[in-house]
Amino acid sequence: MPWTAPAPRAVFLDVGGPIYDDENFVAAVLRALDELRTEAGDSPTDRRRMRRIYDEARQRQGGSLRSALAEEFLGSADRRQELHDRTRSHWTHPPGTMYGDVLPFLERLSGQVTIGVVANQERTVIDCLERDGVAPYVSVWGISAVVGLEKPSRELFEWALAEAGTSPEEAVHIGNRLDTDVRPAQALGLSTVWVLRGEAPPQPTAEQLAEPDLAVPDLSTLADQLLIPSVVP
């Protein structure tokens, strides 16, 4: 699937998946579930069952993972907020968990487009991005916990566009989920790239792959594809 949209003026990146390994989030959820179960006198979370529910959520690209996990492991989907709050307190991106293709990708884009992050993340992610050398490339900081808006709401994308000073048609959003990245960005008129790692499906269907403008396994060749679009006859 070649990139056929014009070269963008702004490029927005989701953080979990494109930049950091989503296993950081899985580790935080597992720790939260174990704590909540221990507090209730229950045994630790069954890792295989948890992984099965997680993979099913990845495959469907929609619905609430939190509700499914709360129902399965905490006895009720009503405890989803409690699980969310506990997960947040453990969620971080340790050194060494950033993908190796991130900095070369940003270096290639640097000076040619406005670069931003548009991500549902805690405020602490900024420290991680500074530590790992990403921050100097970023001029639009669309972090949900900082801005007060969350994907998939259109307002967070609109906020990022306004910060970048670009129209939706001049911007591309790069994310690894259909429900919170590709679909809301596309609905606003942005071009979309789906990165198939982390929370992306283990086996994406043809229908899913047809949704974004481009689907890629990683960022290794993406900068060239974005900056030198194929000519549409």
Binding residues (CB under 5 A) for Mg ion: these are 14, 16-17, 176
Q: In the bound complex, which residue of the shown chain has the CB atom lying closest to Mg ion?
A: 17
CA dihedral sign, ordered 113, 2, 119, 128: negative
| Residue with smaller CB distance to Mg ion, 74 or 194 | 194
Residue 16 beta carbon to Mg ion: minimum distance, rounded to whole angstroms: 4
Beta strand pairing call for 114-119 and 10-13: parallel
| Residue with smaller CB distance to Mg ion, 15 or 83 | 15
| Residue with smaller CB distance to Mg ion, 168 or 198 | 198
Residue 152 beta carbon to Mg ion: minimum distance, rounded to whole angstroms: 12
Residue 199 beta carbon to Mg ion: minimum distance, rounded to whole angstroms: 6
What's the helix, strand, coil split of the chain in %, to 5?
50, 15, 40
| Edge-to-edge strand list for the sheet holding 214-216 | 140-143, 114-119, 10-13, 171-175, 191-195, 214-216
| Residue with smaller CB distance to Mg ion, 8 or 16 | 16
Residue 43 beta carbon to Mg ion: minimum distance, rounded to whole angstroms: 30
| Residue with smaller CB distance to Mg ion, 69 or 74 | 69
d(CA 54, CA 43) in angstroms, rounded, equals: 19
Any residues with CB less than 8 A from the CB of 107 and at least 6 apart, and which?
A: 137
Instruction: Say which DSSP state 115 is in.
Output: E
Residue 210 beta carbon to Mg ion: minimum distance, rounded to whole angstroms: 20
